[in-house]
Copies of this chain bind each other. A is one copy, B any other.
């Protein structure tokens, strides 16, 4: 059974391996939520499946659990209240430990085949996942489908490809033959074994529960580790569905379902710290806020830790061809999912003396107003506004935005949702600041709040954006300039600060997008995280290679051909 999984998906693996080699465009799972691709009833089926979870018990095939927990509430106002198995961490770890040997000893191909089958089944259930992601994160439907489904699956496959490549980088065996004299050789047969580190813990976040979790989940799994999935208490369902599919595939392939388990908790009784500090956990993948992420990095003991935390993202506007194209592009970037992406810009730096355009100089206020106008237009249609903004995942985010004051040039009030009257919404608040107010804009203000900041010059804009990134982290940077020297200078400074730059984006491509197989997400080179999705560094720490060498007796040469000369040889 399980070797078939590999054969079935091998072509896709090869495509993924090619893609990570050239990092051009590639996607393995279609991003368009079309009935033609996913089946004409797929959307309805997904909705029915999602509704079936509401208020129900979500059963999983895992031990070490007693009782249930759960209390998710959709940011769109729908009570979910699915109940999940409540894990006793100590007992769960005992069950997992028993499951490990068979998986550890399975071939690389068997493990990769299972993982790709899991992705395949996740893909088929992308509509169901879309509703689960939408109603836990507050994303609009289209985004929930794409980021929660195929884009997350692509990120998972990308990690599998890197892990496969890393494991295959060392030959499984070799013959070592050294000449130690004119006719003397020493021969050793050497075998190189992949030894997984043991048990991985993947800590999910509330805004992108699948997209940010799949790389660590699949990288740990295919390298032979068991994985505990610890979802955010507010976004359990998408990962419960994921774990369920993992367990089903593992069982079909003849493995213990405790190899992938869910360890859900509640805000009132969190269990993450207990797991992080447990010596039985050997690998930790974390996505979430910086404060807890820094704690995880410091308290993980000997576990390998891969983090994606938060940062303060900037846009540097130096000069543009046409402001309208830029402000239109920025408006979508700023509004998308109410600024709740780790890649959403927060600070827009504009020289107070204005900027050059093809149509002449635009003052600072002209630029600021163009951005406000772009946002106003984006949100002028209720349906578009609802779909683009989605809802606010966490009340704390709404409160934070409501409290932000100063020179507000666009209010970020609650807006009505056409379908969900109880949705927690905010439109985008824009505040004007001066470069001297560094203490205000150097702080991360997660959510739909943007600062437009007047600087002395683009040089100062670059200095502020890069120094804030070095100090507090940053995951994206938008740059608009028609001057090659400025572009080079900005890229140099931001690269050194570990921030990828997106240069002069207009049209259908946005600074907050990160495409699997091409864009490295988080550089690992500033405080916003220590890892990248995905590269070799993201996978090689999940296993070790341990060798064995065996002496091979030298055959006696036939006596007539055995020379007697003792002349020394090198």
**A547 and B570 in contact (CB under 8 A), knowing A508-B184, A541-B537?**
no
- Verify if A53 is at the interface (C-beta below 8 Å from B): no
Contact A523 B546 (CB under 8 A): yes
A193 within 8 A of partner (CB): yes
Q: Does A268 sit within 8 A of B, measured CB to CB?
A: no
Shortest Cβ distance from A549 into B: residue: B502
CB distance from A345 to the nearest CB of B (A): 15
Contact A195 B25 (CB under 8 A): no
User: Do the beta carbons of A518 and B170 come within 8 Å of each other?
Assistant: no
Cβ contact within 8 Å between A540 and B536:
yes
Chain B residues whose CB sits within 8 angstroms of the CB of A23 once the complex forms: 170-171, 174, 176, 190, 192
Kindly identify which residue among B34, B197, B535 contacts A540, using a CB–CB cutoff of 8 Å: B535
A37, CB-defined interface residue at 8 Å: yes
Do the beta carbons of A503 and B545 come within 8 Å of each other?
A: no
Asked if A549 contacts B519 (CB within 8 A), the reply is yes
A22 touches B171 (CB 8 A): yes
A24 contacts across to B, CB distance below 8 A: 174-177
Closest to A554 in B: B507
The answer to whether A551 touches B504, judged by C-beta atoms less than 8 angstroms apart, is: yes
Tell me the minimal C-beta distance from A144 to chain B in angstroms. Answer: 19
Interface assignment of A90: CB less than 8 Å from any CB of chain B: no
Q: With A178-B25, A495-B193, A508-B180 given, is the CB distance from A503 to B551 under 8 Å? A: yes
Interface flags for A485-501 (1: CB within 8 Å of B; 0: not) read 00000010011101111
How many Å lie between the Cα of A175 and that of B30 in the bound state? 21
A526-539 CB contact bits vs B (8 Å, 1 = yes)?
Answer: 00001010011100
Find out whether the CB atom of B570 lies under 8 angstroms from the CB atom of A545: no
Whether B544 lies near A523 (C-beta < 8 A) is yes
In-complex Cβ contact of A525 among B175, B195, B509, B554 (8 A): B195
Contact A544 to B570, CB < 8 A, known contacts A24-B174, A25-B176: no
| Contact of A570 with B535 in the complex, beta carbons under 8 Å | no
Question: Which residues of chain B come closer than 8 Å to A520, judged between CB atoms?
Answer: 192, 545-547
> For A501, what are the chain B residues with a Cβ–Cβ distance below 8 Å?
548-549
CB < 8 Å: which of B25, B190, B546 contacts A498? B546
| Interface size, chain A (Cβ < 8 Å) | 70
Number of copies: 2
Contacts of A192 in B (CB 8 A): 23, 520
Interface status of A524 (Cβ within 8 A of chain B) = yes
Question: Taking CB as reference atom, which chain B residue is nearest A282?
Answer: B525
* B509 A551 Cβ-Cβ under 8 A: yes
Q: Does A515 contact B (CB under 8 A)?
A: yes
Interface string of A172-193 (1 = CB under 8 A from B): 0011111010001010101111
Provide the residues of chain B in CB contact with A502, threshold 8 Å.
548-551
Question: Could you tell me which residues of chain A, from 376 to 433, have a CB within 8 Å of some CB in chain B?
Answer: none
Assess whether A166 is interfacial by the CB under 8 Å rule.
yes
- Is A176 touching B518 in the complex (CB atoms < 8 A)? yes
Q: Is the CB of B496 within 8 A of A195?
A: yes
> Does B545 lie within 8 Å of A535, measured CB to CB?
yes
Kindly provide the distance from the CB of A510 to the nearest chain B CB, expressed in whole angstroms.
Answer: 10
Interface residues of A in 332-368 (CB under 8 A from B): none
Question: Which chain A residues numbered 127 to 179 have a C-beta less than 8 Å away from chain B?
Answer: 166, 169-171, 174-178
Q: Which residue of B lies closest to A548 (CB)?
A: B501
Closest to A34 in B: B570
Chain A residues engaging chain B, CB cutoff 8 angstroms: 21-25, 30, 32, 34, 36-37, 166, 169-171, 174-178, 180, 184, 186, 188, 190-193, 195, 197, 302, 491, 494-496, 498-509, 515, 518-520, 523-525, 530, 532, 535-537, 540-541, 544-551, 554, 570
* A-B residue pairs, 3 tightest by C-beta: A525-B544, A537-B540, A503-B550
